Structure 1
């Protein structure tokens, strides 16, 4: 997908998100009232699970995950459930002390079209985050862009180095809040969490640095989407 198509898809997804109620009725883990907050320390054991589905069934995937969400975090761990604003992705982000209780989840909602789960190491955290922790919140701001790169074992390190080299250029733009880069232990995935004050701030940066983004194209297949956190446990 080229940069223009990505920008158009991300923009059209916001209207869809504003009209969706993705959680079961009566759930206390919604983004209503006091926002939930997940703080992820560097050095934590991290597992990221990505669920891909058609727009028509995203709400069922979210509700299926939310119904058992309190059981997902392991001992001493925590988790966030995020839904893409275009209705095609759901992500479970787990973190906690190293141990089997905080390993990747192993149960797939049957209605998800495609599913993958891997363990990751957070290898980069922007200085605006004090270089110590990533915060995920159910509040409306900041917006969260998650870009999951599919790559190969022989290209993963080059992709990571290219991303880190270009990070200061993006972080210099107004509206930037935080960024964290995650490298999978199996060697075929890299996931970036980026937070911006508004969609417009992110789009301004993306348009200005479109040539920089193209530098990563030969190294991995990007899958960028805007997300909002709907559960914190």
Structure 2
């Protein structure tokens, strides 16, 4: 199993998705993301996904890694994921952040 690795050497295409939700919807948003991830893991180029819940209940953050931008875009355009994406949009304000790892520090 490939684990999420935050490294400048990995070359992964990274999506950090911030979902802003009402606190009473945080758990439902989490469940929708896990359901979507169950579908997304079958796509070529998928590396990892991590989900974080804010302490105040107003955000769900998904840190996802792909082998390449092309792999990510192919998944995003596929009909099998559209229902999940629509469910996310119905429940949350979404701020996608596409990035590359520029620096890491470990103790």
Q: Return the TM-score normalized by structure 1.
A: 0.42
Q: Does 1:142 align with 2:41?
A: no
Verify the 8 A CA contact 1:149 1:191 in the aligned structure 2.
yes
Number of aligned positions between the proteins: 103
Q: Does 1:151 align with 2:21?
A: yes
| DSSP-derived class of the 1:202 partner | helix
Give the counterpart of 1:176 among 46, 59, 62.
46
Please tell me the root mean square deviation across aligned C-alpha atoms, in Å.
1.4
Partner Cα distance (1:181, 1:220) in 2: 15
Higher strand fraction (1 or 2): 1
Alignment match, 1:114: none
Measured at CA, do residues 168 and 128 of structure 1 come closer, stay the same or move farther in structure 2, by a change above 3 Å? farther
| DSSP-derived class of the 1:137 partner | coil
Verify the 8 A CA contact 2:13 2:66 in the aligned structure 1.
yes
Quote how far apart the aligned CAs of 1:179 are.
Answer: 0.7
Quote how far apart the aligned CAs of 1:225 are.
Answer: 2.0
Alignment match, 1:15: none
List gaps (5 residues or longer) in structure 2.
Answer: none
Alignment deviations for residues 140-163 of structure 1 (CA, whole Å, 9 cap, x no partner)? 611111101111101001100111
Q: Does 1:214 align with 2:81?
A: no
Q: Return the TM-score normalized by structure 2.
A: 0.88
Alignment deviations for residues 70-95 of structure 1 (CA, whole Å, 9 cap, x no partner)? xxxxxxxxxxxxxxxxxxxxxxxxxx
Alignment match, 1:13: none
| DSSP-derived class of the 2:19 partner | strand
Measured at CA, do residues 128 and 231 of structure 1 come closer, stay the same or move farther in structure 2, by a change above 3 Å? closer
Partner Cα distance (2:2, 2:68) in 1: 16
Verify the 8 A CA contact 2:11 2:100 in the aligned structure 1.
no
List gaps (5 residues or longer) in structure 1.
Answer: 1-126
Alignment match, 2:68: 198
| DSSP-derived class of the 1:159 partner | helix
Structure 1 stretches of at least 4 aligned residues deviating more than 6 Å after TM superposition: none
Partner Cα distance (2:19, 2:77) in 1: 19
Partner Cα distance (2:31, 2:45) in 1: 24
